[in-house]
Amino acid sequence: MMKIRTFLALLLLAVGLLAHADVSPGDGMPAFALTDQTGKLRSSDEFKGKWLVLYFYPKADTPGCTEEACSFRDDIVLLRALGAEVVGVSTDDVAAIREFGRKHELPFTLLADPDGKTAQKYGALVNLGVLKFAKRHSFLIDPDGRIVKRYKDVDTKDYAKTILVDLRALSKKS
C-alpha cells in the first residue's frame, strides 16, 4: 500500500510540474484580470499601447524577490522614459503584495494571482498540489501585445539593467 501511495504522490508531483501552458516570443500576451496592491482589478488590456515588463516572482519579501523588485524600482525612471511599464505578479494574496510594495516603496503595479492561473498561462507556475508559486520568469511585451523576449535565468541584482539594454535595442528597431 505504501508503494502505491508513493507512486501516486510522485505522479501528482510530476503532472503538477509538467502541466502548464507555455508562451514564447512572437506569441500574443495571454489575457489576465488580477487585483493589484490597492485592491483594484487590473486587466492586461490596460497595458497595451506601451512596452510592458511583466515579471513573475515566487514570494513577496524574500531576499531574491526583494532584490529583483528593488532593481526595477531603482531603474523605473529609465524604463518609463523608454515607454515601459513594470508589473510584478506572484501567487501571494493582496495583503502580502500591498505590504511588500509599501515596505520597499515600489512605484509600479503588483498583482495577486493566488490561484496561480495567470502564472500557469505564462508557463511560470510551479504546482506541487497543495503548494503553488510563481517561477522567476519575465516577459518583455511590445505595445501591440506581443511577447518579444522571455527571461528564465535572472540575476536579481542587475535584472532591470538587462531589460533596459534589450528595450533600448528593440526601441531603435521600432
Give the catalytic positions in this structure: 65
Q: Tell me the whole-structure pTM to 2 decimals.
A: 0.86
Under DSSP, the state recorded for 110 is E
Computed over every residue of the chain, the mean pLDDT equals 89
- Nearest Cα to Cα of residue 86 among 163, 33, 174: 163
The confidence score (pLDDT) of residue 1 equals 57
The confidence score (pLDDT) of residue 6 equals 45
List phi, psi (to 5°) of 104: -105, 10
Q: Which residues in the chain come in under a pLDDT of 70?
A: 1-21, 174
